[in-house]
């Protein structure tokens, strides 16, 4: 089931967000609440041979967007997912050849509110946190607030 959802997410990104194809972003895992996505450093590097800040921001933003997409998929729903606001912190250079961004655990009460509002109103909102980390801790951390509107 998760493999099919990840494939649908990948196809949606390719058709609706062409930048994700140019950046070679792809989903790699989904456990029902946490999404991981990857992108290679080579097409996303800067002059310092570390990941370009804009690419990091895009990857983390797409992890949040993809999380909401998959939460909707779980409910058998579609919606227009948009980011309302975000904050990112660049803590250390990202130099891994394959950069992996992971969604952080969702707040259970926030997830319950998301589904309850979605079921009763047909639209909803949720906050998503994600990061790129290594063995020494976070390299970049992201907080985003996403809204689902009726299609």
Q: Using one digit for the tens of pLDDT, what is the confidence trace for 1-36?
A: 589 999 999 999 999 999 999 999 999 999 988 999
Which conformational region is residue 32 in: left (phi greater than 0), alpha (psi within -120 to 50 degrees), or beta? left
Kindly state the average pLDDT of the residues 124-132: 97
Task: Report domain extents, the chain.
Answer: 1-150
What is the residue-averaged pLDDT of the chain?
95
What's the half-sphere exposure (Cβ side, CA atoms, 13 Å) at 81?
A: 27
pTM of the model: 0.95
Number of neighbours of residue 110 by Cβ within 10 angstroms = 13
Structure tokens that stand for 83 in this block: 């980011």
Nearest to 83 by CA among 99, 97, 103, 69: 69
Distance CA 31, CA 78 (A): 20
Question: For residue 134, is pLDDT > 70?
Answer: yes
C-beta separation of 57 from 101 below 8 A: no
pLDDT of residue 43: 97
Q: What is the pLDDT of residue 1?
A: 55
- Answer for the pair 134, 91: CB distance below 8 angstroms, yes or no: no
Report, at the CATH architecture level, how domain 1-150 is classified: Roll (3.10)
């Amino acid at each position: 089931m998760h493999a099919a959802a990840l494939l649908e997410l990948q196809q949606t990104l390719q058709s609706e967000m062409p930048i994700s194809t140019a950046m070679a972003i792809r989903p790699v895992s989904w456990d029902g609440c946490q999404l991981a996505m990857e992108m290679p450093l080579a097409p996303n590097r800067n002059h310092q041979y570390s990941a370009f800040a804009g690419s990091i921001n895009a990857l983390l933003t797409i992890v949040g967007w993809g999380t909401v997409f998959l939460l909707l998929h779980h409910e058998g729903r579609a919606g227009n997912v948009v980011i309302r606001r975000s904050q990112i912190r660049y803590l250390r250079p990202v130099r891994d050849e394959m950069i992996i961004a992971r969604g952080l655990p969702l707040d259970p009460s926030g997830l319950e509110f998301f589904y309850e509002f979605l079921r009763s109103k047909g639209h909803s909102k949720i906050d998503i946190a994600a990061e790129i980390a290594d063995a020494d801790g976070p390299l970049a951390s992201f907080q985003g607030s996403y809204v689902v509107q009726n299609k």
